[in-house]
Amino acid sequence: MPMTFATDTKAEAPLPAGSFTYNSPDKVGLMLVNLGTPDGTEYGPMWRYLREFLSDPRVIELPRWIWYPILYGLVLTTRPRKSGANYAKIWNREKDESPLRTYTRGQGEKLAVRLGDLTNVSVDWAMRYGNPSTRSVVEKLVSKGCDRILTFPLYPQYSATTTATANDQLFRALMKLRRAPAVRSVPPYYAEPVYIDALARSIESHLATLDFEPEVVVASYHGIPKPYADKGDPYQQHCLETTRLLRQRLGWSEAKLISTFQSRFGAQEWLQPYTDKTMERLGKEGVKRIAVVNPGFSSDCIETLEEIAQEAQEIFKHAGGEKFAHIPCLNDSPEGMEVIETLARRELAGWI
């Protein structure tokens, strides 16, 4: 006797309100994330930005009971005005925003065009600190139906103070959602051939426009406190490997392309050699012509346009130097966008 199976002929129960069914292909959100920027150069916006930035336990690893009295009692009463004055020197007056926001927006808009063939991918951009916030952009992508998000921290070299905290903020945003999307994070790309080649071509193109040939080219990276590296942060090794590969690609000697670290804050020791001290040393040793590039920054910002292009140049020339050039970051240039597109398409594989 043949076996028979009972079948349920009842209609399928309707989904709860607010639910949606999965269609193929799934909608994927791609979010570029940069460090952050104040909304203005005045005391209030600077205070809010610095409070968020310097309250991050990955940036300042001191216990809060030690750090917060210093932060609120000294730093946030003096630093907002000083930092605001520095931002004012490089502020994008036309758009009334920092160059970092201008370039990051440009990267997002140009990436959306370059990925135009991927009709199920929605591209946006966010800041770890400041606006547009990571949370607001995550919510926007989810509202568009994105059930998968690829986050792209725009830091070539990994550090807990940058890449990790950007990913921390993403997961804080996901914690607020009842239905959180699946996520991926683009890994650090400090040694990627497309990145090294883009840097080299950018350097060669800029040097070709100068009326002098630099005796030394300085690759200046943002520093981190030395104890962070001693505890296992791989940032220093990533930076030095970028310089090594870049030197190899350009065919330069170790004396021609050197590495330094900038932007130290506070009294503790940071990664060395320090950029400002190196500028002074080179000038005093008789070096007359230098150029500085910032391979650790995907976009020009306060640290490159003010600290390097202005302050470092002044230090070098005051010490006896004569010719100084700052090589722009990749920003949203064709070379820079080639890096971002190549890595984005690779990491989207399997989702599109």
Phi, psi of 88 (to 5 degrees): -60, -25
Tell me whether residue 326 is annotated as binding: no
Are 264 and 229 in contact by the 8 Å Cβ rule? The answer is: no
CA distance 32 to 204: 27
- Residue 205: CB atoms within 10 A of its CB come to 13
The 10 Å CB-count burial string (b at 16+, else e) for 49-81 is bbebbbbeebbbeeeeeebeeebeeebbeebbe
15 Cβ partners below 8 Å, 6+ apart?
Answer: 21
Residue carrying structure tokens 């400002």: 276
The number of CA neighbours under 13 Å toward the Cβ of 140 is 13
- Are 202 and 335 in contact, with CB atoms under 8 Å apart? yes
* 303 annotated as belonging to a binding site for a ligand: yes
| Cα–Cα distance list, 306 to 23, 87, 262, 303 (Å) | 49, 8, 12, 6
Binding residues for Fe(2+): 222, 303
Binding residues: 222, 303
